[in-house]
Structure 1
């Protein structure tokens, strides 16, 4: 039985803390003879998608010497690469092991987005409805205008500061209550701010909708168990609230299942766990304020990019720039990102999923969205064709 991690969440860096405000300056053989009418040849049937059972099917392929050398030297504990539903490579260093879970920090946010999307599919919420319907404390206040989509897109207008962020993460027992109680700084949609507290308010949204009134149980029933994520746990704060901004623990092989679900547009071995429409919304730009951000997932769309290097634990963010997060890889790529440049990378056009977990790299230019994903594609080489 899966254990439930109960933690006081003294997560000094657990929430991928550090936010950069992006203001409203948006960019942007020859046929046999026949007397009957010729028929239109039908396309060959699409092969059935391959899904893992208790373990991944595997067929080692590719040359991983360059990628593995960099990953191991930069503190990685594991990497997993899944191509066409088959595990083609995994490796472990620095104390990592196939079933050894580790904190995945803000990758937790991306998992939370799946739970919210499932509720939208169920019809129990609309992403564009006010979040004050489930969050009672916001009714009749300036926060009443904030929608669920605003919280997911980091455009909620909730007040944010590094001091407040640290206080919630390091010194608050009831983190949901703290997050809900923060003031509204501006109307939603005017700025993009990477905000851990805004993501934690989604616990209050989901708690109101969950049959059990417990978001950890919701996550277990709707996501972890259906995907077979046996080595994944979802943490709580000291008050018993699920942590929806950070804190889950998982493995490279378990998180590859999440990537494979997203690659298959929400379908898992005959079941539609999340609608294709919701997958599209989560992994497409949600605001011109940051073309690189969907709904708690990162995208590779072109436009004004706000990249949060402090999320990885580095001192300074890059200024906003025009371009793409990963110019060396296909535009359809998207990612879940956690502190220390931990990734779930998905490249739909290549039918590819890759996961990297481990410590923060030695510099912000190591194991980036671009270099990690490009390194995986290079490793596949001819095997990726």
Structure 2
């Protein structure tokens, strides 16, 4: 009888403990997730499942709101961990990518190459005709498609209006890195190579395949893509997954690996219209100064990024299977920028407080 009482007491103790113990957090799904190309369904992962410091999220959101942010997203393994809208913006509203959209142009150029329509090592004039610049022909003939992808065309970068009188000689192609709008000639290259308008080719080969929305606003000074925040995140997810969307290789991995590698030895922190962290030195738009150190010292060294004026951002962090998107007005209206800015350092300080 005594043994029976002891057994019953033990059973009651176990039941009591099971009722009052906090449940263990579920492990996050580490498989790569892709949302359907239509509809609004998108899987999520809770920050608690990732063991993030949830107490720092409020500070991050306050910072974003104060810095004129319109939207902010974090994906891990393709699933939404944070999706926030500020200052009257919402999930259905479109916003400008600014120069972050250069990466869309680079990717579309890579798709045209994989289809055999062009070769980035060929002269740009093979696809857009000769005398497209205001340079001596022998200097123009030095400019390849790759030079346009790497900001090393040697064309004057002080005149941002992309018209022939402004496309003047400064240096031989490949010998000078300078951030400018002449990359827009890649739009003409793709159109000439594909015998379609750039937007039609882009829609068919990239946008529609990953379920993006949005449109191009073509101009002689700025050519800008506009979309919702989730469409920006979709492109970031394609990049994180090395060009593969579900079971389709939209853009080949080899081209993307080149895009995210140092493309020339003048500015090691620049690939094919992508910015690269973790390199020994970097340059910024509007200068010829070379700065030592990482582009964003407190961001992961393996990060690469699409960066646009007024702090439009897609950060890709392969080591964390993470995509981060920020859209909005300039974080500092008194100090607008073309791409890299001190905002990156400040934002990553807030992100690190959450994810570390």
Aligned to 1:354: 324
Q: Determine if the alignment matches structure 1 residue 194 to structure 2 residue 187.
A: no
Q: How does 1:45-64 map to 2 (within 5 A)?
A: 48-53=31-36, 54=38, 55=40, 56-61=42-47, 62=52, 63=54, 64=57
The superposition leaves residues 175-226 of structure 1 with CA deviations (integer Å, 9 ceiling, x where unpaired) of 5xx1597223221111110011x21111210110224x20111111111111
Q: Is the deviation greater in 369-378 or in 110-119?
A: 369-378
Q: Matches of 1:160 and 1:326 in 2, distance apart? A: 24
Query: How much does 1:287 deviate?
Result: 1.5
Please list every run of 5 or more consecutive structure 2 residues that lacks an aligned counterpart in the other structure. 1-28
Matches of 1:370 and 1:292 in 2, distance apart?
16
Structure 1 match to 2:345: 370
**What secondary structure sits across from 1:289 in the alignment?**
coil
Q: Does 1:282 pair with 2:259?
A: yes
Q: 1:297 aligns with which of 244, 252, 274?
A: 274
Q: Is the 8 A contact 1:51 1:269 kept in 2?
A: yes
User: Which residue matches 1:323?
Assistant: 293
* 2: CA distance, partners of 1:285 / 1:141: 27
Alignment of 1:86-235 (within 5 A): 86-138=79-131, 140-161=137-158, 164-165=159-160, 168=161, 178=163, 182-196=167-181, 198-211=182-195, 213-230=196-213, 232-235=214-217
Task: Select the structure that is richer in helix.
Answer: 2
CA contact (8 A) 2:233 2:324 kept: yes
The match for 2:63 among 61, 70, 73 is 70
CA distance in 1, matches of 2:326, 2:98: 13
Contact 1:81 1:353 in 2 (8 A): yes
1:48 deviates by 4.5
Q: Which residue of 2 aligns with 1:42?
A: none
RCO higher in structure (CA 8 A, sep ≥6): 1
Separation of aligned partners in 2, 1:349 and 1:192: 29
Q: What is the CA distance between 1:58 and its match in structure 2?
A: 1.6
Change (3 A) 1:303 1:246: farther
Give the structure-1-normalised TM-score: 0.75
Aligned to 1:17: none
Partner of 1:38: none
**Structure 1 segments unaligned to the other structure (5+ residues):** 1-45, 169-174, 311-316
Of residues 311, 318, 328, the one that matches 1:341 is 311
Q: C-alpha displacement at 1:324, in angstroms?
A: 0.7
Cα-Cα RMSD: 2.4
Deviation larger for 351-360 or 221-230: 221-230
State the 1:367 CA deviation. Answer: 6.1
- In the superposition, the TM-score normalised over structure 2's length comes to 0.81
What aligned pairs does 1:249-268 form with structure 2 within 5 A after superposition? Answer: 249-268=226-245
Distance 1:269 1:229, change over 3 A: same
